[in-house]
Amino acid sequence: MTTKNNANRYVGRLAPSPTGLLHVGHAATFWAAHERAREYNGRLLLRNEDLDPQRSKVEFVEAMVEDLAWLGIEWEPPMISQSERRELYRAAFERLLEAGFVYPCRCSRKDLARMMHAPHEDVDDELVYDGRCRPAGEALSRSLVPEMNYRFRVSDGEVVRFVDGDVGAQNFTARVDFGDFLVWRKDGLPSYQLACVVDDAAMGITEVVRGTDLLKSTARQILLQRALGLGGVEYFHTRLMVDEHGVRLAKRHDALAIRTLREHGLSREDVLAMAG
Ligand code: GLU
């Protein structure tokens, strides 16, 4: 448990994906992360989540560093880039495979799209996989099939509980709120869930501050932490900003990119007030 008296013990992180410009929603989350780290007299690290070579752009990395500085959100260098840490993720994947937690999945994108029927499905989230490639027996094969997606087999009905520092007690049920989830992609990249868990542990993160859109991801990440024997992390999920129509700001970065607002003459204080 992180305590305020335990100076230097708190380690937080900012984890933007350089797939677009930072917007006001990011400013809100990152400002909260900055404030939490300050409150605990802790450290705040920056992790550049640039795993996906198709979607990540160097100009967005530069822009995010600049926007953070403009907002007055200080972080401790060096910036850590996920694209440089692939061996770490691969080693974790192999541990999961050897310990029998994962299985290969042959479903194509089309198969998966067809499964996307559940009306309650959050479109940003991974669908609840119906388990069609899940092996029938208890034991999972531990041998590697190359160029294959791999999924983590959840225990159906298991309830993952955690107490969030902001939104309180949470519980999510395996196979209801999330299904067997992707840990490794056939193109040789880890999934977001796996990379995040590996990095949070390797970076010594004590508290993850992020938006409530990632609550179900947290449940999956807790299962991965347990499977990999990694220490737990505390969580603080900030409420998401919505516009006057209830649309999440993350969907509208066009008008609300921090630099657009800045170009329109808004000050740092104005942007933080919008974010706050
Ligand atoms: N890169 C993720 C995002 O921008 C952040 C995930 C996290 O905080 O774990 O949504």
CA of residue 168 to ligand 1 center, whole Å: 20
pTM for the full model? 0.92
Q: Specify the residue with its C-alpha closest to ligand 1, atom 6.
A: 15
Instruction: Give percent above pLDDT 70 in the chain.
Output: 91
Atom of ligand 1 nearest to the CA of 210: 8
Which of 125, 200, 214 should be mutated for ligand 1, with most atoms under 8 A from CB? 214
What is residue 242's predicted lDDT score, i.e. its pLDDT?
Answer: 75
CA of residue 113 to ligand 1 center, whole Å: 23
Instruction: Quick: pLDDT tens for 34-69.
Output: 999 999 999 999 999 999 999 999 999 999 999 999
Confidence of residue 89 (pLDDT cuts 50, 70, 90): very high
Domains observed in the chain: 1-84+241-276 (3.40.50.620), 85-195 (3.40.50.620)
CA of residue 15 to ligand 1 center, whole Å: 5
Give 165's contacts (C-beta < 8 A, 6+ positions apart).
Answer: 207, 234, 235, 236
CA of residue 112 to ligand 1 center, whole Å: 23
Instruction: Quick: pLDDT tens for 224-272.
Output: 999 999 988 999 999 887 777 777 665 555 668 999 999 999 999 999 9
Instruction: Quick: pLDDT tens for 171-209.
Output: 999 999 999 999 999 999 999 999 999 999 999 999 999
Token pair for 194 = 């796996």
For ligand 1, say whether the CB of 17 is within 6 Å of any of its atoms. yes
Token pair for 209 = 């501050």
CA of residue 54 to ligand 1 center, whole Å: 17
Q: Specify the residue with its C-alpha closest to ligand 1, atom 5.
A: 15
Question: Which residue in 200, 208, 197, 199 sits closest to 2, CA to CA?
Answer: 208
DSSP-based three-state secondary structure for 76: strand
- CA atoms within 13 A of residue 10's CA, in its CB half-sphere: 25
What is residue 97's predicted lDDT score, i.e. its pLDDT?
Answer: 96
Statement: residue 5 has pLDDT above 60: no
For ligand 1, say whether the CB of 22 is within 6 Å of any of its atoms. no
Which of 13, 17, 46, 241 should be mutated for ligand 1, with most atoms under 8 A from CB? 17
CA of residue 246 to ligand 1 center, whole Å: 21
- DSSP 8-state assignment for residue 78: E
Bridge-based pairing state of the strands 76-81 and 43-48: parallel
Instruction: Give percent above pLDDT 90 in the chain.
Output: 76
CA of residue 104 to ligand 1 center, whole Å: 25
State the Cα–Cα distance between residues 239 and 28, nearest whole angstrom. Answer: 9
For ligand 1, say whether the CB of 199 is within 6 Å of any of its atoms. no
State the Cα–Cα distance between residues 164 and 272, nearest whole angstrom. Answer: 24
State the Cα–Cα distance between residues 95 and 87, nearest whole angstrom. Answer: 12
- DSSP, residue by residue, 236-262: EEEPPPB-TTS-BGGGGHHHHBHHHHH
CA of residue 133 to ligand 1 center, whole Å: 28
Confidence of residue 152 (pLDDT cuts 50, 70, 90): very high
For ligand 1, say whether the CB of 16 is within 6 Å of any of its atoms. yes
